[in-house]
């Protein structure tokens, strides 16, 4: 990545007049001085730089100004205030078929769009076969694009944009259209362009795409830059916008000592089971739940081993996620042997009576990529109801299919809104526990353990050297 700035945005603003009646809009066209009842501010005082070779992702809720920002950067919209400076050949994929004439054939539009992107006719002809091979729309290339499906549209549009040797590639969620095969093909092409030094400015709603593809995340909220920095931190701030921020009750005084006492009591104060110095052997899962229940309504979450002080807390606070225990053959603690079953228990304290509840968990990599999540609704266990003052223990029984390393575990409770599928967070603790997976390293790469067994048949000559 170079230190050279190729996109410089300073104090950018974009506003639209708001009219109560259609004739008021017509009056403004005829009488330039006519005004509506006010302005809608789509962008306000937006400033940032993008360096050459950098990949910057823009996230935010619907209506936050993401697409408007890209259109102003590309020059298809004029700013109301501020300035934008762009250095280099830009290829933009803002919407399906942008720059296409629907009456022209696909082939004709390749030449039209190529010329818009700054290519000569000879340059387009030299790349034509590569473009057609990438788009894979076959004989339809000589049919008017108005007959194309949305998938064919985006395949051809991206193929042209990706083969014009752009110095800056700007993409507005267009890759969400099309099948999985084509999406992977597009991402691979973007990776190739980035290896050549291409700068990427990407709008996405996918936090996984942001973490995986971008060096930096910009969060927009109500047309303003709310956060600009590390992708993982940008995702956490984005989730706060979606679900709100929940600050749990302060820890009880002496909670750490109480938690230690609870564990010691359940393990016989350190005596080994069966040696006469401790209680009789009990079921491990039952012992783990007993540790949680012994905490009552106290908030002991932050006293447990593996607690991540950098967690993100979301929700309206009507319930408290007060404690957790991870249990496995390695004991009670956030250490899990690979390829073995383990349990995650969570204790909730309800401050109000709430129905339509969902209890869930997730696992993410250290750099924020989600690799697993599940909840009671996805597991077809229905919706739950809890009464004010109720203490509820929820247990997730899993099998560790992860390769050795460290991961972030998150837990939480949410509620389905009545009359719709919108989910409201009540107490969701994101990346709140550091989970360590033990095992032999070097047997495979990646995150998931597929337990591969390899057979070579017929057997190779045993005397062959490696």
Give yes or no for a cis peptide into 443 (omega within 30° of 0): no
**Which structure tokens are listed for 429?**
């603790």
Of 155-159, 283-287, 452-456, 460-464, the poorest mean pLDDT is in 460-464
Report the SS3 class of residue 275.
coil
Q: Read off the pLDDT of each residue in 412-436 and give the average, rounded to a whole number.
A: 88
- E strands, 180-310, are 199-203, 216-221, 224-229
Q: Domain 255-268+281-438, what architecture?
A: Distorted Sandwich (2.70)
Of 210-214, 304-308, 413-417, the range with the lowest mean pLDDT is 210-214
User: What's the pLDDT band for 459 if we cut at 50, 70, 90?
Assistant: confident
Q: Contact at 8 Å (CB) between 214 and 190?
A: no
Quote the CA–CA distance of 111 and 123 in Å, as a whole number: 10
The two beta strands, 199-203 and 168-172, are parallel
Q: What is the pLDDT of residue 34?
A: 60
Per-residue pLDDT tens digits for 21-42: 676 666 666 666 666 566 789 9
In whole angstroms, what separates CA 149 from the centre of its chain?
28
Q: What is the pLDDT of residue 106?
A: 92
| Local structure of residue 341 (DSSP, 8 states) | E
Q: For the beta carbon of residue 48, count every other beta carbon within 10 angstroms.
A: 16
Position 322 pLDDT exceeds 60: yes
Which tokens hold the place of 197? 């030094």
Q: What is the mean pLDDT of the segment spanning 142-158?
A: 86
The residue ranking higher by pLDDT, 278 or 160, is 160
CATH number belonging to the domain at 5-243, selected among 3.20.20.70, 3.40.50.300, 3.40.50.2300, 3.30.365.10: 3.40.50.300
Domain boundaries defined on the chain? 5-243, 255-268+281-438
Q: Say what the pLDDT of residue 229 is.
A: 93
pTM above 0.85, yes or no: no
Cα-based torsion angle of the residue sequence 118, 119, 120, 123 in order, rounded to the nearest 10 degrees = 170
* Predicted confidence (pLDDT) at residue 3 exceeds the cutoff of 50: yes
pLDDT tens-digit map of 107-139 = 999 999 888 878 899 999 999 999 999 888 888
pLDDT at position 85, please?
94
Residue 370 predicted with pLDDT over 70: yes
Tell me the pLDDT band of 247, cut-offs 50, 70 and 90. low
pLDDT, average across residues 87-94: 84
Give the closest residue to 400 by CA, choosing from 361, 454, 439, 442: 439
H-helix or E-strand containing 312?
Answer: strand 312-314
């Amino acid at each position: 990545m170079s230190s050279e700035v190729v996109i410089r945005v300073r104090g950018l603003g974009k506003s639209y007049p708001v009219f109560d009646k259609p004739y008021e809009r017509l009056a403004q066209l005829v009488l330039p001085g006519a005004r509506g009842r006010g302005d809608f501010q789509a962008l306000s005082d937006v400033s940032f730089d993008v360096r050459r070779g950098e990949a910057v992702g823009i996230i935010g809720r619907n209506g936050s100004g993401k697409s408007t920002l890209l259109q102003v950067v590309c020059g298809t919209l004029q700013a109301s205030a501020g300035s934008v400076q762009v250095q280099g050949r830009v290829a933009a994929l803002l919407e399906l078929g942008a720059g296409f004439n629907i009456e022209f054939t696909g082939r004709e539009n390749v030449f039209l769009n190529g010329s818009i992107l700054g290519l000569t006719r000879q340059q387009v002809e030299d790349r034509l076969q590569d473009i057609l091979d990438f788009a894979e729309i076959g004989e339809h290339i000589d049919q008017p694009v108005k007959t194309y499906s949305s998938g064919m549209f985006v395949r051809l549009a991206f193929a042209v944009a990706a083969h014009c040797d752009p110095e800056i590639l700007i993409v507005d969620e267009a890759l969400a259209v099309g099948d999985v095969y084509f999406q992977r093909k597009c991402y691979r092409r973007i990776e190739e362009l980035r290896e050549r030094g291409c700068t990427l400015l990407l709008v996405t709603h996918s936090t996984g795409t942001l973490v995986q593809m971008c060096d930096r995340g910009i969060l927009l909220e109500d047309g303003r830059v709310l956060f600009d920095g590390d992708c993982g931190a940008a995702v956490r701030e984005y989730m706060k916008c979606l679900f709100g921020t929940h600050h749990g009750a302060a820890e009880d005084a002496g909670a750490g000592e109480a938690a230690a006492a609870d564990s010691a009591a359940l393990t016989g104060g350190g005596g080994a089971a069966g040696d006469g110095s401790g209680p009789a052997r009990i079921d491990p899962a039952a012992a783990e739940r007993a540790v949680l229940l012994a905490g009552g309504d106290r908030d002991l979450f932050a006293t447990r081993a593996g607690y991540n002080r950098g967690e993100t807390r979301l929700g309206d606070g009507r319930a408290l996620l007060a404690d957790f225990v991870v249990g496995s053959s390695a004991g009670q603690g956030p250490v899990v042997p690979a390829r073995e079953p383990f349990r995650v228990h969570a204790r909730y304290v309800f401050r109000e009576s709430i129905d339509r509840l969902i209890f869930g968990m997730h696992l993410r990599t250290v750099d924020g990529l989600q690799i697993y999540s599940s909840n009671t609704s996805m597991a077809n266990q229905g919706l739950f109801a809890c009464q004010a003052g109720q203490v509820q223990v929820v247990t997730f029984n899993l099998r560790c299919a992860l390769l050795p390393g460290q991961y972030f575990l998150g837990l939480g409770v949410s509620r389905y809104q009545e009359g719709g599928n919108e989910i409201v967070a009540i107490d969701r603790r994101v990346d709140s526990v550091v989970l360590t997976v033990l095992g032999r390293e070097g047997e495979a790469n990646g995150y998931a353990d597929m337990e591969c067994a390899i057979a070579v048949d017929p057997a190779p000559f045993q005397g062959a050297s490696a």
